[in-house]
Chain A
Amino acid sequence: MRRAGFTLIEAVIALALIGLVVTKLTLVMEEARRAHQEESVALALQDQAMILLDKIAYAIVGASRQRLDPEQLAPLSAAEIRFQISLGVEDGEPVWSDPEIIGLAEGSGQLYWGQNVGAAGERVVVWANTVSQMLEDELLNGEDDNGNDLADELGLAFVVDDKSVVIRLTLENVREGGERLQVTRETTVTCRN
């Protein structure tokens, strides 16, 4: 005689197995989604860091060494740099741009470029909002925590040495769960004028 349907035990086992499979699938999908998001955020942060560093470098490459301020030698660094770039020559004399500045607004994580700041014709443009308060692995304790010969450097740090400017930048983003993701990039620009 043929049985119709399942026994209770069979049904329970089947449901348990289905539950297990669904749970596993959910976990896999969640893992995939999380990995996707993490990788996307990391990639975006790296991309942004590279673009920002290039942007800063191209902005100050036309500056004159004599028109860079401040002059900071390691272990000192500055979170802003003031400069003027050459616009050409008139009557045999170089013509310089209005004073420009690139800096980090402390507390807000904003990296900004400005021209004529505090004077007539002021222009300020925010280039990024994701700059870390301190450079990666650095603490505000008067010491060089991250082994880059700088002490207490902020998330954007300029070191001017002769005609070169070393730029260090750390961007950060907060992952789900509050975990911070940081990307640090460094480049050196030689002022051409």
Chain B
Amino acid sequence: MKAWTRNGDRIDAGRRGSALVLSLIAVATVVVLSASFSQFASAVADRQAQAIDKKQAFYLAEAGLTEAFAGFTCGKSGVVGGPEAPALLGDGLFWVEATELMPGIFRLDSTGMIGSGRARLSLVAQRGIDGIAALGVFSAGEVMVKAGSVIDAYDSTLGAYAGQADKTGAALGSNGTVTVVGTQLKPTTIQGDVTPGSEETVQVLGSVTISGSTTPALTTTELPEVIVPPVTMGAAQTHASPYPLIVPPGKVGYESLTVAAGAEVVIHGPAQVVLGSLTLAATAQLTFDTSQGPVRLYVEESVDLAAGSVMTTSSTNPAEVMFQVPAATAQPVALRSSGPFHGVIYAPQTTLLLGAGFESFGAVVAQAMTFEGAAKLHFDRNLAALAADDVLPVMLSWRLDELGSLPGSNPFDQLGVVKGSLAKPSLAHADQTLSIDYYDALNVYHQYVGLESEFDWSVVKTVIFATRDGVEVLFPRATSTKTGTYKSPGVLPIVDGPMI
């Protein structure tokens, strides 16, 4: 069979369209390659989009943790939104759940979702504690300071006490009456505030100098209990050898520790040492070596440091040694040793007996205090700064729990929520019962108890005391003293109702 050319000539049928076939093969090859590359590029682009969504979800979950933790620092519960009403941030959302693992320790679980990405992070945080060391010298009961006493302050970060000219900023406080006695021969000097309990007074007898305020406190100061760490208790130790007994770093416990005359015990930090009782005979010595870390000493039943004994520290930083007596003791805790002792002594349930030769650099806080002679107590102003840090919660653990993606999904559809109806993070915190004493802009004293969502924070000038769901909202103390916001307004408060 023959075919016709355009000019009317005929050609062989076997050669018809050969150029077209070649062209088609070429085009088909290019199309197949393009399609395959396009498909591959599309798969890569999808994978990269998912990776970006995952990363964004991760950062959203982190934003959730940050929001919850910031709330935590203000005494909030840490709950922000929930799966049914998450917080909206950009094109994504998050919510945070809070679980109390043990008293004061919470786990915050934050879930962030955006596009196909989903991430869940968890953070364990410990609530801040009211730094009792900032109280300076404080007795929950009445206190009498004897003639010849010196209660002043220094800053341990600036060097030794002796070399410092500024000795102001001391704090002597009580929930009861404070009596300060001085004589012409033995004048008493207090370089700072003396703060008696609410509606109590400072009684000054004789030659006494108080450089600061003597206005009473607004509220009673509650001394938090001491939590003794779990430690396996070893047998009672009586040390009488001329060679020092070394208590190693770590958690150590003894039923009792008795140091005979002339003997020495050295506790090496970092250590948590729990003792049933502690006895130092005259000329015995107890040394806290904090060159490698701090020492926390807990004595549960009795403390008797005889006159002539020595309790001393290797460091001049009082923050490195904490001597605590957690429970009430049958006899007062007798501190008749000499020093120098740089540390914090805390006995919230018992009476301290401070011997005539006892000198402390740091802070001393107790249920009650008895001075056998003139007191020499030098408050470290740096402890107040550290206490301000203690008020803030501490992160114990951070963990990435889940990170994934669900292609083609939309978090709003998945959760069944409407984007426009979601609250922004700062407004998504769980509502709580707020109890607050505060001053308004005109320095008028107010009280409010009710839901926080119904409270207008803009009317608050100064917070005196506040709780959320019964948990005290801790504010860093501006100074070591209970001046300013903590002073009594001297009038009854105006009780506010809900304010919207």
Tell me the A residues contacting B by CB distance below 8 Å. Answer: 2, 18, 21-22, 25, 28-29, 32-33, 36, 39-40, 43-44, 46-47, 50-51, 54, 58, 61-62, 85-89, 91-92, 94-95, 192-193
Contact = CB atoms under 8 A, between A and B. Distances in A.
Contacts of B492: none
A192 B62 CA distance: 10
Interface of B: 9, 18-19, 22, 25-26, 29-30, 33-34, 36-37, 40-41, 44, 47-48, 51, 54-55, 58, 101-102, 105, 107, 122, 124, 126, 230, 395-400, 403
Nearest to A21: B22
A19 to B, nearest CB: 11
7 contacts: A25-B25, A28-B30, A36-B33, A36-B36, A43-B40, A54-B54, A89-B101
A88 B107 contact: yes
A50 B33 contact: no
Contacts of A89: 101, 105, 107, 124, 396-397
Contacts of A47: 44, 47-48
Contact of B26 (A25, A44, A88, A91): A25
Contact of A88 (B9, B34, B41, B397): B397
Nearest to A24: B26
Contacts of B230: 91
Contact of B22 (A25, A39, A61, A192): A25
B398 A62 contact: yes
Contacts of A21: 19, 22
A21 B25 CA distance: 13
Contacts of B25: 25
In the A-B complex, list the 4 residue pairs whose CB atoms are closest, starting with the nearest: A192-B398, A89-B124, A86-B397, A25-B26
A58 B403 contact: yes
A43 B48 CA distance: 11
A22 B26 CA distance: 9
Given A39-B37, A47-B48, A92-B126, A193 B398 contact: yes
A192 B59 CA distance: 13
Given A28-B26, A32-B30, A62 B400 contact: yes
A183 to B, nearest CB: 13
Contacts of B47: 47, 51
Contacts of A61: 400
Nearest to B229: A92
A47 B41 CA distance: 10
A33 B48 CA distance: 25
A88 B399 contact: yes
Given A36-B33, A50-B48, A51-B51, A86 B399 contact: yes
A87 B122 CA distance: 10
Most buried by B among A44, A88, A193: A88
Nearest to A34: B33
A2 B10 CA distance: 11
B37 A36 contact: yes
A34 to B, nearest CB: 10
A43 B37 CA distance: 10
Given A22-B22, A36-B33, A92 B105 contact: yes
A39 B124 CA distance: 46
Contacts of B107: 88-89
Contacts of A36: 33-34, 36-37
Contacts of A51: 47, 51
A94 B44 CA distance: 39
Nearest to B36: A36
Contact of A43 (B44, B101, B102): B44
Contact of B44 (A29, A44, A62): A44
B28 to A, nearest CB: 10
